[in-house]
Amino acid sequence: MRTVIFRTIAPYLSALMVLFSVFVLLRGHNAPGGGFIGGLIAASAFAIFGIACGVAAVRRAIIFHPMALSAFGLFIAGLSGLPSLFLRQPFMTSQWWYIHAFGVEIPLSTPLIFDIGVYFVVVGAISSIALALEERESD
């Protein structure tokens, strides 16, 4: 698969897909999308990059081990349920903060943090499987 065309295109394509995955993640609360789908898109970006340029390049690019990314996602998803403890509400009750910046209302919330956690769990889990499979093939 390491043709010149593919190798030239793949980095741009992957970068675009990661950007799009973040977009899908953030619009997920009110429109189709969310952490799971966003994570899948990002994981496929890493898979494409891995097919084109080798697994070592992907591992260098994402710096952390995919399983560690996954664990980080699990960690912040777990934390996102905790703020309601201090407001005497049950676990996982959503909290909203509305921030006004540059004349736009930006709604931030604990579900968003949870969704970002899901995003990382999916990215980490799927890309660690994909990278392991690709590595086996190239050996």
Residues in contact with other proteins by the rule CB under 8 A: 29-31, 65, 67-68, 70-72, 74-75, 78-79, 81-82, 85, 88-94, 96, 98, 107
**Torsion angle (degrees, nearest 10) of CA 85, 87, 89, 92:** -50
Angle at 27 between CA 24 and CA 30, to 5 degrees: 135
Whichever of 9 and 92 has its CB closer to other proteins, that residue is 92
CB of 9 to other proteins, least distance (A): 33
Distance CA 29, CA 60 (A): 32
CB of 68 to other proteins, least distance (A): 5
Whichever of 4 and 139 has its CB closer to other proteins, that residue is 139
In the chain, what is the straight-line distance between the N-terminal and C-terminal CA atoms, in Å? Answer: 15
- 107 - beta bridge partners? 98
Whichever of 36 and 72 has its CB closer to other proteins, that residue is 72
Whichever of 54 and 81 has its CB closer to other proteins, that residue is 81
